[in-house]
Amino acid sequence: MIYLASLSPRRCELLDQIKVNYQQIAVSVDETPYPQEPAPDYVRRLALTKARAGRLAVSTPCPVLGADTVIVYDKQLLGKPVDDDDASRMLRVLSGRKHQVMTAVAVVTPTREKVRLNISLVHFRRLSEADIQAYIKTGEPLDKAGSYAIQ
């Protein structure tokens, strides 16, 4: 059994798909990037910080999994949008362009810490304003880095 330091439904879906026995725990961490912090360092730090926070919250020696995903376009970090307008702005920025998706996963036990980073290059097709507005109306973009789901 592992603990998942996240309440994300998408993280749960991924663990369910590979039939991992897990228990979710809520953690709260400051997700503010450090000044001039490179995106790979930022996403690794957040995943590890979440896993460490989860480790402090449990009393068993079971491993704790923390993860974070960020979208990077033109050296800008695109996290979760604050509202529909922010989500629309992000989708317009990404429309018809390539960007990076960085996901870090950290596993923390009482005696070890491991962090891994994956970087994917994604090319968005051009989105019409109607496409963007229809997607915004679903409510899907609001809890996703870069305003869209990628697993």
Q: Output the average pLDDT for the chain.
A: 94
Specify the CATH number of the domain 2-147: 3.90.950.10
pTM score, two decimals? 0.88
The single residue listed with the structure tokens 């690794």 is 44
The pLDDT assigned to 130 comes to: 96
Instruction: Tell me the per-residue pLDDT of 92-138, one tens digit each, with 9 for 90 and over.
Output: 999 999 999 999 999 999 999 999 999 999 999 999 999 999 999 99
Structural tokens at position 63: 């491993």
Task: Please identify every residue annotated as catalytic.
Answer: 68
pLDDT tens digits, one per residue of 20-76: 999 999 999 999 999 999 999 999 999 999 999 999 999 999 999 999 999 999 989
Rounded Cα gap, residues 115 and 45, in angstroms: 9
Residues comprising the chain, all counted:
151
Among 78, 117, 80, 73, which residue's Cα sits nearest to residue 97? 73
Task: Show Cβ contacts of residue 124 under 8 Å, excluding neighbours closer than 6 positions.
Answer: 94, 95, 96, 97, 98, 99
How far apart CA 39 and CA 6 sit, in angstroms, is: 20
Q: Which pLDDT score, from 0 to 100, does residue 52 have?
A: 98
What are 64's strand-pairing partners? 3, 108
Q: Which residue has the higher pLDDT, 148 or 106?
A: 106
**Token code pair at residue 121:** 């290059």
